[in-house]
Amino acid sequence: MIGERLSFRTLNREVIEPKICAACFGCVSFCTANKLNVLEIKDDKPVYCDEENCLEDGICYLICPRTEDLEKPLKTRFQFKEPIGSYVSIRSLRTTDKEVASVCCDGGVVTSLLKFMLDTKRIDGAALSKKRSLWNNEPMIATKLKDLLECAGSSLAQSRSISDLGDLTTFASIFSALKGTDLRDLTKLAVVGTPCQILTIRKMQILRIVPSHLVHFTIGLFCFENFLMNDDGRKYLENKISADLDQIKRINLKDDFIIKLKNGETFHIDLEDLDPIVRSSCKACTDFTNYGSDISVGGLGSPDGYTTTIVRTRAAQRLVNHAIHLGYLDEIEQKGALRTIERMAERKRDRGKRILGERRANSTT
């Protein structure tokens, strides 16, 4: 509306009401008036908790990954090109560390690269999602190998929302780690996150919002979608794997959802078949490869046990080469990864644009 000050009210009208909110909760975590309890999470949605205390500075609106005001400067800064953003190289890498290999999701590149950066004092901490069990995770600042190992792999966790404690999700929040006392004495951080999370960090950096100035390196996860399961959703997935969810040992996402059971059985479930449990917010998302990160990682495009690594800057290329040279990572030549990743990125972009258009149109009628 003309003349309106940007605030959570605007965000609510343009993003939350049209149901295109990514449920990343950056707005709640980095609200300027955080100490006044202005925003909270209810039913997996950000809501006003005390509207009277809202400062109307519009920070929540500007850093939201679904608003467009800072999108153009970001895309210019990262020289965005369809469909996967700009890059220096695309590589298939894996860890050389047996302990990392035993707990990681794909090739253990995230964990080993962070270890290399901590060992060589390029960073003194990393904002990650700590896996307490397959069913439970929490944001943390990792400062040593033990912490990194606790975060490796993927988890299917309890939803953060207080009102639906029984729901399970593959999405993990990392933002609350970035506003806690854990940051005391830290000067250089890495962040690992989904495209919606990395986009929020980048927007914060444009606006110089604390503590984004500490973020020196971003590792962006490929992300087609995430899942959220209530009781019906759980039953739906249990039917697909003919087993209770507590029989799951590991999960992974490439161009399908991979579930390994404790009895050794592996299921590859087509993403189309998982529509009933996809987080509604993810269907309106357009970025698969995390274009705003320093390096992007996923299993898609590489053989099992390797991580496809899109290196986006010359500095990141030097870093990866150094890690290989010092024996943290090794590499195989992999042809054909680019087209595979591009196809997945196009598929997500096209679905996201269609759903965004539909939801925006519905909310104005």
> Alpha-carbon distance 256 to 223, whole Å?
11
> Contacts with ligand FAD in 197-236 (CB under 6 A)?
221-224, 226
Residue 253 near ligand FAD by CB under 6 A: yes
Identity of the residue, 26 or 298, whose beta carbon is nearer to ligand FAD in the bound complex: 298
The entry of ligand FAD, ligand SF4, none that residue 159 binds, CB within 5 to 8 Å by partner kind: none
Neighbour-count burial of 206, counting CB atoms closer than 10 A to its CB (0-12 exposed, 13-18 middle, 19+ buried): middle
Do the beta carbons of residue 321 and residue 261 sit within 8 Å?
no
Q: How far apart are CA 277 and CA 156, in angstroms?
A: 13
- DSSP letter for each residue of 314-354: HHHHHHHHHHHHTTSEEEE---SHHHHHHHHHHHHHHHHHH
Q: Does 252 bind ligand FAD (CB under 6 A)?
A: yes
Residue 104 sits in the site that holds ligand FAD (CB under 6 A): yes
How far, in Å, CA of 256 to CA of 247, rounded? 19
Q: How far is the CB of 279 from ligand SF4 (least distance, A)?
A: 6
Distance of closest approach, residue 280 Cβ to ligand SF4, in angstroms: 10
Does 65 participate in binding ligand FAD (rule CB under 6 A)?
no
- For residue 105, the partner it binds in ligand FAD, ligand SF4, none, with Cβ less than 5 to 8 A by kind, is ligand FAD
Return all residues near 36 (Cβ < 8 A) that are at least 6 apart: 50, 53
* Residue among 112 and 194 whose Cβ is closer to ligand SF4: 194
Instruction: Return phi, psi of residue 299, to 5°.
Output: -85, -25
Stretch that binds ligand FAD, among 82-90, 242-250, 291-299, 327-335 (CB under 6 A): 291-299
| Structural contact between residues 252 and 105, judged by C-beta atoms closer than 8 angstroms | yes
- How far is Cα 297 from Cα 44, in angstroms, rounded to an integer? 27
Residue 257, interface with ligand FAD (CB under 6 A)? Answer: no
Q: Least distance from C-beta 263 to ligand SF4, angstroms?
A: 30
**Of positions 20, 60, 62, 109, contacts ligand FAD by CB under 6 A:** 109
Q: How far is the CB of 40 from ligand SF4 (least distance, A)?
A: 11
Residue 252 binding target from ligand FAD, ligand SF4, none, CB below 5 to 8 Å by type: ligand FAD
Other residues' Cβ atoms within 10 Å of the Cβ of residue 119: 12
3-state secondary structure at position 55: coil
116 is a contact residue toward ligand FAD (CB under 6 A): no
Of 21, 27, 31, 172, which one interacts with ligand FAD (CB under 6 A)? 172
For residues 228 and 171, is the Cβ–Cβ distance under 8 A?
Answer: yes
With binding defined as CB under 6 A, does residue 300 bind ligand FAD?
Answer: yes
Binding site for ligand SF4 (CB under 6 A): 11, 15-16, 21-27, 46, 64-66, 171, 194-196, 223, 225-226, 279, 281-282, 285
| Number of other residues whose CB lies within 10 A of the CB of residue 336 | 8
Contact positions vs ligand FAD (CB under 6 A) = 104-111, 128-129, 151-155, 170-172, 174, 192-194, 221-224, 226, 252-254, 297-300, 307
